[in-house]
Amino acid sequence: MAEDEVRSILQSGVSAGCTEALFVFGEYAEEVPEYRQMLAELGYSSTVDYVYNLCEMAIEIGMLPHTNAGILSYQELEKLKPVNASMGLMLETVSTLKAHANSPGKKPDIRIRMIEDAGKLKIPFTTGILVGIGETKDDRIASLQKIAEIHEKYDHIQEVIIQNFMPKPGTEMENNAPPTKKEMMETVRFARKILPPDVEVQVAPNLIDPYSLVKCGAGDLGGISPTTIDWINPEAEWPDVEKLRKMLKGLPLRERLSIYPKFIKKEWYGEKLDVLIRSLADNEGYRA
């Protein structure tokens, strides 16, 4: 997107009451010549430089950046940290699967390295596992145990997403069945049991009815948007807040920021974010 287009989206978000700007990128986009040409036309030599400026723009407009740009080096994470309230990367699984055969950035050791690098840099972080891509129950348990192990070492993981795989037309896995509700409930129970108490379990309310999963231990519904689609799952419409309340059948909802209260109190954020975070957060670190 051109910067003017991004600015327009950010301004619409602020007007709608949003507080988070989520920057999401595909895998190794710079390997594509057309993408490199587009970057050059925008005036950038790298995606990291591009997203850094967009994050600064978001802060200026009044939104907290959260970048999930795929695989980043330690140096790239270090560069983006001052302009991000939090960052993220799905682990997906610790197993080597056929589903990831053509995706070099999905190799578990590469993803684990980046999650650990974020811990070394004290970046509040989101990760998660993808359910229904050919993994076994034991794979899911092992993946959650690895995430717990990393968090116990670096104390930086905010929440772990338990995301159900959604087949997409035109892809190699278009005919694969998504996980069942029973499998998702079981995996959320595993997650709540395996992960440390200060790591929240998140589910996506536009991909699955969240009520039964909240009853199994999920405590976070991620971000929803009144102004944009879910670019990862464009076929799945975001619920609005009132619909979420109905879906939760009376369970209480409380809005948080893209940086959890724990990390606001620890001041795990850069000076560029200080004024904005303090203006958006209440005394407990939730949305004022």
Question: What does the domain layout of the chain look like in residue ranges?
Answer: 71-277
* Cα 46 to chain centroid, rounded: 22
Which is higher by pLDDT, 243 or 28? 243
Q: What is the CATH number of domain 71-277?
A: 3.20.20.70
Q: Which of 159, 83, 79, 72 is nearest to 116 (CA)?
A: 72
Q: Could you tell me the strand order of the sheet in which 20-24 lies?
A: 20-24, 64-68, 86-88, 125-131, 157-164, 200-202
Q: Which of 175, 155, 156 is nearest to 165 (CA)?
A: 175
Asked if residue 69 has pLDDT above 80, the reply is yes
Between CA 31 and CA 167 the distance in angstroms is: 25
Q: Which pLDDT does position 76 carry in this prediction?
A: 96
Does the pTM of the predicted model rise above 0.85? Answer: yes
Span 229-257, mean pLDDT?
A: 93
Asked if residue 57 has pLDDT above 90, the reply is yes
- Do the beta carbons of residue 201 and residue 192 sit within 8 Å? yes
* Cα 41 to chain centroid, rounded: 29
Between CA 194 and CA 254 the distance in angstroms is: 24
Asked if residue 145 has pLDDT above 90, the reply is yes
Q: Which pLDDT does position 271 carry in this prediction?
A: 93
In this prediction, residue 136 has a pLDDT band, given cuts at 50, 70 and 90, of: very high
- Token look-up 């794979």 returns 139
Torsion sign (Cα): 42, 1, 222, 57: positive
Q: Which pLDDT does position 197 carry in this prediction?
A: 97
Q: What percent of the chain has pLDDT over 70?
A: 100
As to burial, measured by CB atoms within 10 angstroms (0-12 exposed, 13-18 middle, 19+ buried), residue 177 is exposed
Question: Could you tell me which residues are beta bridge partners of residue 88?
Answer: 126
How high does pLDDT run on average in the chain?
Answer: 94
- Can you say whether residue 252 is alpha, beta or left, with left for phi > 0 and alpha for psi between -120 and 50 degrees? beta
Q: What percent of the chain has pLDDT over 90?
A: 83
Asked if residue 99 has pLDDT above 80, the reply is no
In this prediction, residue 93 has a pLDDT band, given cuts at 50, 70 and 90, of: very high
Between CA 107 and CA 113 the distance in angstroms is: 10
Between CA 178 and CA 57 the distance in angstroms is: 38
Asked if residue 100 has pLDDT above 80, the reply is no
- Compute and round to an integer the Cα radius of gyration of the chain: 18
Between CA 277 and CA 116 the distance in angstroms is: 25
- Token look-up 């939760």 returns 248
In this prediction, residue 119 has a pLDDT band, given cuts at 50, 70 and 90, of: very high
Q: Which pLDDT does position 168 carry in this prediction?
A: 83
Residue 224 sits at φ, ψ, to 5 deg, of: -125, 155
Q: Which pLDDT does position 286 carry in this prediction?
A: 97
pLDDT digits (tens, 9 = 90+) for 153-196: 999 999 999 999 887 888 777 778 889 999 999 999 999 999 99
Asked if residue 221 has pLDDT above 90, the reply is yes
